[in-house]
Amino acid sequence: MTEHAPVTVLAFDTAAPYCAAAVLSDGQLVAQAEEPMQKGQAERLMSLCDDLLTSADLSFDALTAIGVGIGPGNFTGIRISVAAARGLALGLGVPAVGVSSFEALRYGHDGPCATAITARREQLYYQRFDGTDAEAPILVPVQALPEHAGPLFGATGRAPTFPIAEAIARLAADRYKTTTERPAPLYLRPADAAPARDAPPVILP
């Protein structure tokens, strides 16, 4: 008789000023951490993941799937996590599942609701859910939230049911068998960095 191989998911997110990760094994949370930080996620992410796996007596080779937060949020932070997830998935030969911050905030609530994420400049990233359907996410002023049914989760609303990395892990565990696309960043506005104004150098004949 073949012994059951546990479904083990490593999930992480750096779309906001933190480095968050969680390990889920057969539906049970076995390790998680969230470290606030304005910068340094690129240097900390993989060591944090390694620390959590070690604390759970697991290795990267034990992973069934990778879950990653795709934003919206900090432009550079999102790229850090998505690139790490793609690299791990390729190296380990496992699927990587992208999960939006909206989905993670809503996880655990099945009815109508809305989700909001701080977007700076007195704005919010916002998405409304009507049962199982979701409207397209938008960028709105803090003082002009659209009307919605059910609770609001996230910025200016209630705290989510699950910590961000755990929610991503649970959603990835539900979806990894049917995932067909690689994770891709969810950007709702251009990056803050502006292109250089100086003219490019010219090679003289």
**Do 67 and 135 share a domain, yes or no?**
no
- Asked whether residue 53 falls in the same domain as residue 131, the answer is no
Q: Is residue 138 part of a domain?
A: yes
From first to last of its 205 residues, the chain has per-residue pLDDT tens of: 446 779 999 999 999 999 999 999 999 999 999 999 999 999 999 999 999 999 999 999 999 999 999 999 999 999 999 999 999 999 999 999 999 999 999 999 999 999 999 998 899 999 999 977 899 999 999 999 999 999 999 998 999 999 999 999 999 999 999 988 999 999 997 655 444 444 444 444 4
Q: Which of 110, 121, 105 is nearest to 158 (CA)?
A: 105
Spatial distance between the Cα atoms of 180 and 8, rounded to a whole number of angstroms? 19
Q: Domain count of the chain?
A: 2
What are the CB-based long-range contacts (under 8 Å, 24+) for 157-161? Answer: 157/114, 157/115, 157/116, 160/104, 160/105, 160/106, 160/107, 160/108, 161/107, 161/108, 161/109
Residues 115 and 25 in one domain: no
Q: 202 lies in a domain? A: no
Supply the range of the domain harboring residue 75: 1-107+160-187
